[in-house]
Structure 1
C-alpha cells in the first residue's frame, strides 16, 4: 500500500494513554497521552489526523475501531501523500486488524498485558472480563459505558444486550469493596444473563438475581442496581430500581424526571417480586444509569460531584457534538479529577441514546 511503516497503539484500561504494540520490524515508540498528542486527537475525534509537517514520512493517525468501540489508533508513515482511495484501503485493513485484536484477545493474554500501565487488582481483572464492549452502535441506538478506578474497580459493573427491537441494560453496585464485591457482582451478572437469555420479563429477571444472591450470600450481602428494557421501535422504557439512584433522562439540555415510582429493595434482600416503572422516550433522548460513586465523588475541599455537574457535563458535550463514547470517557476522567484522582468508591455509568440522529456518524 506504499506505507513506509505502521504502528498500532491500543488504549489502556483508563482510556488515558495509547500504548504501542511491539512486533518484528515495528519502529520503537513510547506511550502517548490521550491529551495533547495527534494520536490522542485521532482517538478522541474518531477521525484521521494528519501531521502538520510536510517532510517525507510525516505520519497519519487513523482510529482502529471494532464496530464503534475504539480499540486504539494506527500511526502510518507514507513516502508520498496517499490518495483517498488508498486511505479507504488502509481503513479497511485497520478494521480487519481490529477484528484480529478482538478475536486473538479472547485466547491470548498479549493485548491485555499491553493495555495495562500498572497492575490490575484481582477484583478489577474479574470485572473487566465480565464487561461487554464499552461502546455499541446501531441505526437506532448507541450504548456506552465507563468504569473507574479502572485498575482497582471492585463492586461496580454493567451489562447490556440488544436483541432485535429490544435493548436490555443493567447497572449494578455490589456492597463492599475489592474481591468480595467482585464475586458478588459476578454472580449477579451471571444470573442476569441467564434470566435474560431465558427470555424472562424484567420482574422475573430481577427475581432470579435476587434469589441467586440470597442463596449464595445470605442477607449480609446485597447489590443495588437498575434493570431497564427499551423497545427500539416505540421508545417504551421499562425499568426496575432496586435501591439505586434513579435513572436520568436528558431531552436536549433539559432533565426529564421519570414519573413517581417506588423503588424495590436491593437485590438479595427482596421478599416480593419487584414492580416495573414505565415511560416513553422521545427521539434524541439520552438515558443515564449510574452508581453513586459518580455523584458522591468528593473533592479535597468536600464538594460532591453531584447530579447537577453530571447533567451539565453530558448536555454540554451533546451541544458541542461530542459522540457518546468520548462523552463518557471524558466524564469518567472529570469525576476522577474532581476527587484528585483518588476515588473513595467505585464509579460506573451507562449512557443510552435512542434515535439521536448521530448514529450514522459512529457507524461511518
Structure 2
C-alpha cells in the first residue's frame, strides 16, 4: 500500500513538473514571437523615390536573429543604407542589432559621413558591450541622389555589389575597416571611398547568410556566385528582384538554412 502511495505521489509530481515546463515553454514562445515582431518592425519599407528605388528581404534562421538593416533619408536628396550582422543568433544578438539600429539613426539624422558612423558605432560597442564578446560586421553607405554618387565605409562586412546598368560590369564595394567591437581604433587610413552612379545601376547589400550557402558538394555560393545571379537578373523588376535572388540562392542550397539572410536591393533612377 505504501509503495502504491509513493508511486502515485511521484506520478503527481511528474505531472505537475510537466505542466510547469509546458507553461514555461509557452511563455518563452510568446516572448520570442513578440521579439520577432519587434525585430521585424525595424525593417525598412520599400522606397519609391524619384531618384532611387529600394526593397528589402529578411529571412531569420530562428524567430529572431542578429541581422539588421536601415534605409533612411537625412534630406530629400541623401539616402543612407546601412546593414550589419551580429555574431551568433537568438535574442542576445537581436537585442544588440536593435541597439545598433537606434545608435546608427543618430548619425543619419545629422547627415554624418559613413566613416564617422562606423567610428562612432565602434566606440559605442567597445565602451558598452566589450564583455559580451559579441562583434558585428557593418556597412554604412551614403547615396547623393542629386550628384548620383555613393560613399561607403565597411567594417569587415561582405562587399556590397554595384551592378552597372549594362549587366556586364560588377564592382565590389569592399570593406576598408576592421569588424565592429574588435579594437577601439579600427579605421583604416582610407576608411571610406566614393564612386559615381548612373541611372539603371543596381546595388546589392547582403549578409553572409547568402554567400555562405553551400551546395551538395559543400561549396559556398560565394560573392562571385551572388554577383552572377544579380547580373543575370537585370531584366527583373526591382520590386521582384529580392525574391528572385533568394529563390536562386535556395536552388543552389543543399540542406537546411543555418544563418540569417538579409538582402537590400536598390536601383538608381
1:245 corresponds in structure 2 to: 158
1:313 to 203, 215, 229: 229
Q: How does 1:231-270 map to 2 (within 5 A)?
A: 231-251=144-164, 252-258=166-172, 263-270=176-183
Hey, what's the Cα distance between the residues in 2 that align with 1:279 and 1:318?
A: 20
Which protein is bigger by CA-based radius of gyration? 2
Deviation at 1:325, TM superposition (A): 1.9
Deviation at 1:307, TM superposition (A): 2.5
Structure 1 residues 1-41: Cα deviation after superposition (integer angstroms, max 9, x where no partner): xxxxxxxxxxxxxxxxxxxxxxxxxxxxxxxxxxxxxxxxx
Deviation at 1:194, TM superposition (A): 1.8
1:47 corresponds in structure 2 to: none
Pair 1:136–1:255, CA change in 2 (3 A):
same
Pair 1:258–1:151, CA change in 2 (3 A):
closer
The answer to whether the 8 Å contact 2:118/2:154 transfers is: no
Pair 1:262–1:228, CA change in 2 (3 A):
closer
1:184 corresponds in structure 2 to: 96
Pair 1:198–1:126, CA change in 2 (3 A):
same
Hey, what's the Cα distance between the residues in 1 that align with 2:76 and 2:42?
A: 23
Q: How does 1:141-160 map to 2 (within 5 A)?
A: 141-149=52-60, 152-160=63-71
1:348 to 219, 239, 262: 262
> Which has the higher relative contact order, 1 or 2, with Cα contacts under 8 A spaced 6 or more apart?
2
User: How many residues of Structure 1 are paired with residues of Structure 2 in the alignment?
Assistant: 233
Deviation at 1:182, TM superposition (A): 0.4
Hey, what's the Cα distance between the residues in 1 that align with 2:205 and 2:51?
A: 19
1:173 corresponds in structure 2 to: 85
TM-score (norm 1): 0.59
Q: How does 1:202-281 map to 2 (within 5 A)?
A: 202-218=114-130, 220-251=133-164, 252-258=166-172, 263-272=176-185, 274=187, 275-281=191-197
The answer to whether the 8 Å contact 2:84/2:138 transfers is: yes
Per residue, is there more helix in 1 or in 2? 2
Question: What's the secondary structure of 2:97's corresponding residue?
Answer: helix
2:215 to 287, 296, 299: 299
Hey, what's the Cα distance between the residues in 1 that align with 2:33 and 2:211?
A: 24
The answer to whether the 8 Å contact 2:61/2:259 transfers is: no
1:326 corresponds in structure 2 to: 240
2:252 to 325, 335, 338: 338
Deviation at 1:199, TM superposition (A): 3.1
Hey, what's the Cα distance between the residues in 2 that align with 1:231 and 1:208?
A: 21
Q: Which runs of 5+ in 2 are unaligned?
A: 1-30
Hey, what's the Cα distance between the residues in 2 that align with 1:308 and 1:201?
A: 29
2:41 corresponds in structure 1 to: 129
Hey, what's the Cα distance between the residues in 2 that align with 1:120 and 1:172?
A: 21
The two structures, once aligned, show a CA RMSD in angstroms of: 2.4
Hey, what's the Cα distance between the residues in 2 that align with 1:150 and 1:351?
A: 20
